[in-house]
């Protein structure tokens, strides 16, 4: 149901002439999803410039019962930011770095700060903010926290949830919770911040955060390794974990199909080897001192002698490291060039990654001959992107009609291995039915109770997560 012009006028007064859009061109970027899977609608995009303005907007919406979809860079992959009526509350104008404390290793930022800008602000003070995603040039920190984003360095530093000390949140009724505490120890009751991190804007609006920083790594050592199979990839991971500890920053797995499509279709992608292999890993160590290179070479030499690894390339320069990472980064970019794709963002215990890959690939290939499995991701934390490309001779729409069918096959295997059907992309509207299937009582009941307590009128991002 469309909201009244009188109500929209009230919002306009709150945010001023630069803080709203109602024309089609202004709304368009905010009502579609990155991959084009969803298209929504809204009556206005509101862009407040301060927490006080967010609070006034939320107070008006709460009183009128108007739906609100908080939105960052709108780079999500599950439709969480796509509105179905009401307004979009964009945090894009709230993009200031409020404080950097290099001694306390913290950075305070407004929610609309682009992730890359947060990284750069930390770097300017000789510190590292380790959250790193393919969309870091456009995604915003508020959205990263609302979806508990992961990325390539979770192995060493954890998910977004692990990188937050404090939050500022505007509640659905307009009240402001000031939890911007830069403390590593604060044992004063419920950890409220964790309710909003990963809630996808269904409980409130994150407006600012105190983020953890880390020492800037003096050295990075990068290697691309060819292996016989995923079992050997797990064995190699164990060797690096045992020998390198926290210096092991990233350990990425790629199957043959994912590397092949990156080489065939990716701009600037160079083949790492003259031969093709069945499996690959991309490994990064970071820290201080020449011992990093010695450790990398020592572990790889042992793996090659034992037959766990078949070949390896070690980056000899910063540019070579970029080139090796480019192979991994290109995989999701080039998948559209290979036809329609059915996605799975799943996780299992690290020890069960090879078992999952074998079971899932066998199951989907038996179900549809000619289907192509593009499996890649963060083996070090058990998160695999198990994507399925259409058979070359199949109609794309006919293949995509099988999305739910293949989700069921893959997710049932994941569930049987004690895994999760959503590792880092969140629930949004894409996986609401999966929540009903795999989350039992009392888990769903507790989530619904929290939703009702925080948002009794149900105006916050309705239809998402629950």
Q: What string of H, E and C letters represents the secondary structure of 311-346?
A: EEEECCCHHHHHHHHHHHHHHHHHHHHHCCEECCEE
Q: How many other C-beta atoms are found inside a 10 Å radius of the C-beta of residue 325?
A: 18
97-215 classified as CATH 3.30.750.80:
no
Q: Which two tokens stand for residue 293?
A: 């290179």
Task: Output the pLDDT for position 290.
Answer: 81
Asked whether 383 and 322 are in contact (CB, 8 A), the reply is no
**Phi-psi group of 77: left, alpha or beta (phi > 0 → left; psi -120 to 50 → alpha; rest → beta):** alpha
Class of domain 339-431: alpha beta
- DSSP lists the bridge partners of residue 66 as none
Q: Which two tokens stand for residue 201?
A: 């804007």
Task: Output the pLDDT for position 372.
Answer: 97
Asked whether 374 and 258 are in contact (CB, 8 A), the reply is yes
For the entire predicted model, the pTM comes to 0.94
CATH 3.30.43.10 domain locations along the chain: 5-90
CATH 3.30.70.2190 domain locations along the chain: 219-335
Q: φ, ψ for residue 89 (rounded to 5)?
A: -105, 100
Secondary structure, 3-state, 63-101:
HHCCCEEEECCCCCCCCCCCCECCEEEECCCCCCEEEEE
DSSP state of 191: -
Task: Output the pLDDT for position 444.
Answer: 96
CATH 3.30.465.10 domain locations along the chain: 97-215
CA–CA separation, 297 vs 50, rounded Å?
A: 51
Taking only the tens of pLDDT, the chain with its 466 residues reads: 678 999 999 999 999 999 999 999 999 999 999 888 899 999 999 999 999 999 999 999 999 999 999 999 999 999 999 999 999 999 999 999 999 999 999 999 999 999 999 999 999 999 999 999 989 999 999 999 999 999 999 999 999 999 999 999 999 999 999 999 999 999 999 999 999 999 999 999 999 999 999 999 999 999 999 999 999 999 999 999 999 999 999 999 999 999 999 999 999 999 999 999 999 999 999 998 889 999 999 999 999 999 999 999 999 999 999 999 999 999 999 999 999 999 999 999 999 999 999 999 999 999 999 999 999 999 999 999 999 999 999 999 999 999 999 999 999 999 999 999 999 999 999 999 999 999 988 999 999 999 999 999 999 999 999 9
CATH architecture of 219-335: 2-Layer Sandwich (3.30)
Cα angle: 295, vertex 296, 298; to 5 degrees: 65
Task: Output the pLDDT for position 218.
Answer: 93
5-90 classified as CATH 3.30.43.10:
yes
Cα→Cα distances 250→110, 118, 245, 304, 450, Å: 28, 20, 12, 20, 35
CATH 3.30.70.2740 domain locations along the chain: 339-431
Q: Which two tokens stand for residue 161?
A: 């949830």
């Amino acid at each position: 149901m469309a909201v009244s012009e009188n109500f929209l006028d009230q919002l306009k007064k709150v945010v001023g002439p630069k803080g709203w859009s109602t024309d089609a061109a202004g709304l368009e970027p905010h009502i579609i999803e990155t991959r084009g899977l969803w298209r929504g609608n809204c009556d206005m995009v509101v862009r407040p410039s301060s927490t006080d303005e967010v609070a006034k907007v939320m107070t008006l919406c709460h009183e009128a019962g108007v739906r609100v979809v908080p939105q960052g860079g709108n780079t999500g992959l599950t439709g969480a930011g796509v509105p179905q009526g009401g307004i979009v509350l964009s945090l894009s104008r709230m993009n200031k770095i409020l404080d950097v404390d290099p001694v306390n290793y913290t950075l305070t930022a407004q929610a609309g700060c682009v992730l890359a800008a947060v990284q750069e602000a930390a770097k300017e003070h000789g510190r590292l903010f380790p959250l790193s995603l393919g969309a870091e040039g456009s995604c915003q920190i508020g959205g990263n926290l609302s979806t508990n984003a992961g990325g390539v360095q979770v192995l060493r530093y954890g998910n977004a949830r692990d990188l937050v000390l404090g939050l500022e949140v505007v509640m659905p009724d307009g009240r402001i919770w000031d939890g911007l505490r830069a403390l590593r120890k604060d044992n004063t009751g419920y950890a409220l911040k964790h309710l909003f991190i990963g809630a996808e804007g269904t409980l409130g609006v994150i407006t600012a955060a105190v983020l953890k920083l880390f020492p800037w790594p003096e050295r990075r050592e990068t290697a691309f390794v060819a292996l016989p199979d995923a079992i050997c990839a797990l064995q190699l991971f164990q060797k690096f974990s045992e020998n390198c500890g926290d210096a092991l920053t990233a350990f990425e797995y790629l199957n043959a199909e994912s590397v092949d499509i990156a080489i065939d279709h990716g701009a600037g992608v160079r083949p790492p080897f003259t031969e093709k292999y069945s499996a690959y890993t991309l490994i990064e160590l970071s820290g201080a001192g020449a011992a990093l290179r010695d450790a990398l070479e020592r572990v790889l030499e042992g793996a090659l002698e034992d037959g766990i690894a078949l070949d390896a390339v070690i980056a000899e320069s910063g540019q070579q490291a970029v080139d090796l990472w480019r192979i991994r980064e290109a995989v999701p970019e080039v998948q559209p060039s290979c036809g329609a794709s059915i996605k799975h963002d799943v996780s299992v215990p690290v020890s069960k990654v090879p078992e999952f890959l074998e079971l899932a690939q066998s199951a989907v290939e038996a179900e549809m001959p000619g289907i192509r499995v593009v499996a890649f991701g963060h083996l070090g934390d058990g998160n695999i992107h198990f994507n399925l490309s259409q058979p070359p001779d199949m109609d794309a729409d006919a293949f995509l009609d099988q999305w739910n069918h293949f989700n069921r096959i893959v997710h049932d295997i994941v569930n049987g291995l004690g895994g999760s059907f959503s590792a880092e992309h969140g629930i949004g509207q894409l996986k609401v039915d999966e929540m009903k299937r795999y989350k039992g009582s009392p888990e769903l009941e507790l989530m619904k109770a929290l939703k009702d307590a925080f948002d009794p009128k149900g105006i916050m991002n309705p239809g998402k997560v629950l």
